[in-house]
Structure 1
Amino acid sequence: MSKRFVSMRMLALLGGLVLASACSAASNSATAPYTNGDEYVTLPGPHQRYSNDGKVEVVEVFSYACIHCAEFAPDAEKLRKALPPGVKFKLLPAPFNQAWLPYARAFYAAKQLGVVQQTHLKLFVEKFAQHYPLNSLDDLADFYARQGVNRAKFMQIATSPEATTALKADLALIQKWGVDATPTIVVDGKYRSNNITSYSQLVALTQWLVKRELAEKGGK
């Protein structure tokens, strides 16, 4: 697996939504298992988190259009369940290009409707294992309808001005973090995964960064 997994060119989208490029992704002691600037990077301050809930946050920047995110999804779910108390796992969809925009809109609708947990892995399975045609927002609305979601309500939320505003804000944050590949993990808006060679390494790196961040916060 390459560091970046896949890369794409920046495009301008509907309503002036400017999109970036991509699908691709302790201590200071000499015995640290990972190196700043290699497997991860420390982001320049001021650090900006995805939320303000007070917990250490682990954010996976992903897309339902990304095969590598589909492959990583079971490991990401295990990681989410294994995180210690005081740590919150969050998903952030990357609208990197016009083809990926429907998936980001679909995620926002699913999140608002409260169905992400029961549909997240299923969507990957249908798209990449069962090869359902899940490419357009209409296709995605059909998928969620099969999961018991009201199709009209889904489309209303996914195409709303509020969804567009959220896309713009989250894209700006993704760009601030320097994310140009998926899946990428960002811990507390401070550390970003970088040169990763396997999904197991991404999980282990995330766990190490979380312990480091918890230790730093505990020492304050």
Structure 2
Amino acid sequence: MFKRHARTLVLLGGLLLASACTASNSDAAAPYTEGQEYVTLPAPYQRYSDEGKVEVVEVFSYGCIHCAHFAPVAEQLRKALPKDVVFKLVPAPFSAEWLPYARAYYAARQLGVLEQSHLELFAEKFAQHYPINTLDELADFYARHGVNRDEFMRVATSEAVTAQIKRDFELIQKWQVDGTPTIVVDGKYRSAQVKSYDQLSALTQWLVKRELAGK
């Protein structure tokens, strides 16, 4: 079993990390077991968006090496999902050290450079060992890839981004996510104890098919 990375939130005054795992009835006929590889979250289920499609969310951080290892698998997963399924990323601000990565994610998304920078940020931090830990160092990373540094800092530190982080963290709490990478399907199912990144991908596809069949 690969180790899942968990942190404790210390910023964003008033935001407290609350983690708990729940388990429901297991299904002996299924390839995955309720309460082991996945859990069904308590109702009412809360999705990340209102697009109307079945939703796959990866809760992640650029500060998590396990997320870096899962990232290319997640990219293949995203491409393999049916057209009526949407894949989304939500950064987890589980610590003071991880907060800059959450800000960087939202800034990159707003500036339209997320798609081309997502895998590259993991590569430079963990494979090439660039010092990419602080918001200033993240700004340097995006500047190397053609983003105006001042504009990046303005967006990353904006009140709008701070509010978005707070909203998303409250949802992460409701999903009872306590480590990364974690997959949440339709705000209803959350991945739990999986043995490999490939199993996490396969579990996600199985949960998606289950949810599509239910609709």
Superposition TM-score, scaled by structure 1 size: 0.91
C-alpha distance in structure 2 between counterparts of 1:154 and 1:193, whole Å: 33
SS at match of 2:28: coil
C-alpha distance in structure 1 between counterparts of 2:187 and 2:113, whole Å: 26
C-alpha distance in structure 2 between counterparts of 1:176 and 1:129, whole Å: 33
Q: CA RMSD in A?
A: 1.5
Q: 1:18 aligns with which of 5, 15, 30?
A: 15
Given residue 191 of structure 2, which amino acid in structure 1 is its aligned partner? S
Mapping 1:26-65, distance limit 5 Å: 30-65=28-63
Partner of 1:145: 143
Partner of 1:9: 8
Q: Is the 8 A contact 1:61 1:94 kept in 2?
A: yes
Worse-matched range after superposition: 175-184 or 147-156: 147-156
C-alpha distance in structure 2 between counterparts of 1:171 and 1:7, whole Å: 14
Query: Percent identity among equivalent residues?
Result: 68
In structure 2, the CA distance between the partners of 1:17 and 1:121, relative to structure 1 (3 Å rule), is: farther
In structure 2, the CA distance between the partners of 1:210 and 1:177, relative to structure 1 (3 Å rule), is: same
Q: Is the 8 A contact 1:39 1:194 kept in 2?
A: yes
Worse-matched range after superposition: 129-138 or 148-157: 148-157
C-alpha distance in structure 1 between counterparts of 2:14 and 2:139, whole Å: 22
1:5 is displaced (CA, Å) by 1.4
Partner of 1:67: 65
Q: Does 1:123 align with 2:121?
A: yes
C-alpha distance in structure 2 between counterparts of 1:20 and 1:41, whole Å: 19
Partner of 2:111: 113
Q: Does 1:166 align with 2:175?
A: no
Q: Where in structure 2 are there 5+ consecutive unaligned residues?
A: 20-25
In structure 2, the CA distance between the partners of 1:29 and 1:128, relative to structure 1 (3 Å rule), is: closer
1:18 is displaced (CA, Å) by 1.9
Q: 2:131 aligns with which of 113, 133, 144?
A: 133
Q: Where in structure 1 are there 5+ consecutive unaligned residues?
A: 23-27
